[in-house]
Amino acid sequence: MSQSKSNILWFLPTHGDGRYLGTATGGREVNFNYLRQIAQAADQLGYFGVLLPTGRSCEDSWIVASSVAPFTERLRYLVAVRPGLQSPSVAARMTATLDRITNGRLLINVVTGGDPVENKGDGIFLGHDERYEVTREFLNVYSDLLGGKAVNVEGKHIRIEDGKLLFPPVQSPPLYFGGSSDAGIDVAVDTVDKYLTWGEPPAQVAEKIARVREVANARGRKLSFGIRLHVIVRETNEEAWSAANELIKHVSDDTIARAQRNFARMDSVGQQRMAQLHGGKRDKLEISPNLWAGVGLVRGGAGTALVGDAQTVAARIKEYQDIGIDTFIMSGYPHLEEAYRFAELVFPLLSLDHGSNVTRLHHNSGPFGETVGNDYRPSRLASQS
């Protein structure tokens, strides 16, 4: 049976990067040049796109995407609209503009926001379910404007009179959305194109997809599905697990406790599910075969990583494909080096929907690999064997 094709995205770490988690040791300055390097690497390696995170812990995703996009050719940019923080009309104009100047390379991540403390700092004092009411009203206006419609609406949270978009986007940017609560799923099935989950074990992801599909089918809609994961891939499983342990070797128990207290204040069901995978403890971090929850000890949001050699990581990805995932948003530390490792080691083992973007050695005369003894290139030697 032929393997279904997938889209693989990478990640621009606008909230920081380094060789280790939870410490300044090995920390890396994340400036414009570094983000451009990662974007250009992802573009050259053939990733479908990159996700830019959102929130007060990050640089602004729209400004970063706008600044690095001109230095790439095919790479798409998954940036966030924020219902409740933005007017839907202003967000639609921003979307159309960035889509136009990138020639149709924009993807939209709909983020409702799950941290009450951060929300209040941004002027949002609504409860969990009310924020999803705002999200629904926002997306109805936003999508109509991008679809070329004039909008007049008086909702519970949003009022628009004679809203219109004068400069349309190149495409209708697809809407990505993650929300594990009943309120989140209720909005998703009516308004978005791709439903996202964080990297839970396959059985839990399968259960979540089944829930979403059941509601969507009842309303006559069909969604596709994506997952957000970290990856630690090496040439052997032993090297990969060693790298996973190295990544958290500077994380203290106090650092874990402080991070978990911050996550516990959040009303995001997805974040609660992430925290339950490890319980704030480092003794049982392999929560499913080759699925490691060490990242989530100190990092909010996506907290799990696929760990192993290329064949193992590819096999785990195919398990998610088999339950309906067609889009994988990956990342790894440091993000520049891991982008290369993952693409070079795992891409050849996957069936990619964007396979034509992937740089193949025979498409270029090189050099690939250092000339040996000032005499021959490794490819010449291989061809003679």
User: What does the pLDDT read at residue 4?
Assistant: 75
Higher pLDDT, 112 or 309: 309
User: What does the pLDDT read at residue 349?
Assistant: 96
Q: Which CATH number fits domain 7-384: 3.20.20.30, 3.30.110.40, 3.30.70.270, 3.50.50.60?
A: 3.20.20.30
The amino acid that residue 334 corresponds to is P
Dump pLDDT digits (tens) for 1-36: 346 789 999 999 999 999 998 889 999 999 999 999
User: What does the pLDDT read at residue 267?
Assistant: 59
**Section 314-329 average pLDDT:** 97
Number of neighbours of residue 339 by Cβ within 10 angstroms: 25
Alpha-carbon distance 200 to 186, whole Å?
A: 20
Dump pLDDT digits (tens) for 223-234: 999 999 999 999
Structure-token pair, residue 125: 């004092």
Q: Which residues contact 371 (CB under 8 A, 6 or more apart)?
A: 377
Residue 380 above 60 pLDDT?
A: no
Dump pLDDT digits (tens) for 130-154: 999 999 999 999 999 999 999 999 9
Dump pLDDT digits (tens) for 45-88: 999 999 999 988 899 999 999 999 999 999 999 999 999 999 99
Q: DSSP letters along 99-126, please?
A: HHHTTS-EEEEE-----HHHHHHTT---
Write down the mean pLDDT value for the chain. 89
Identify the top-confidence range among 203-207, 252-256, 270-274, 358-362.
203-207
User: What does the pLDDT read at residue 39?
Assistant: 98
Higher pLDDT, 126 or 168: 168
154, 142 in Cβ contact below 8 A? Answer: no
Alpha-carbon distance 293 to 199, whole Å?
A: 9
Residue with the two structure tokens 């309906």:
324
46, 17 in Cβ contact below 8 A? Answer: no
Domain boundaries, the chain: 7-384
Dump pLDDT digits (tens) for 209-267: 999 999 999 999 999 999 999 999 999 999 999 999 999 999 887 888 787 677 666 65
333, 340 in Cβ contact below 8 A? Answer: no
User: What does the pLDDT read at residue 269?
Assistant: 65
Lowest-confidence segment of 80-84, 182-186, 203-207, 271-275 by average pLDDT: 271-275
Residue 124 above 80 pLDDT?
A: yes
User: What does the pLDDT read at residue 57?
Assistant: 87
Model-wide pTM > 0.85: yes
Burial class (CB in 10 A: 0-12, 13-18, 19+), 299: middle
The amino acid that residue 51 corresponds to is L
Q: What is the sign of the dihedral through the CA atoms of 357, 361, 364 and 367?
A: positive
In this prediction, what percent of the chain has a pLDDT beyond 90?
Answer: 68
Element (H, E) at 256: helix 253-264
User: What does the pLDDT read at residue 268?
Assistant: 62
3-state secondary structure of 290: coil
Band (306; pLDDT cuts 50, 70, 90): very high
Residue 110 above 80 pLDDT?
A: yes
Alpha-carbon distance 317 to 324, whole Å?
A: 11
Dump pLDDT digits (tens) for 339-363: 999 999 999 999 998 877 775 544 4
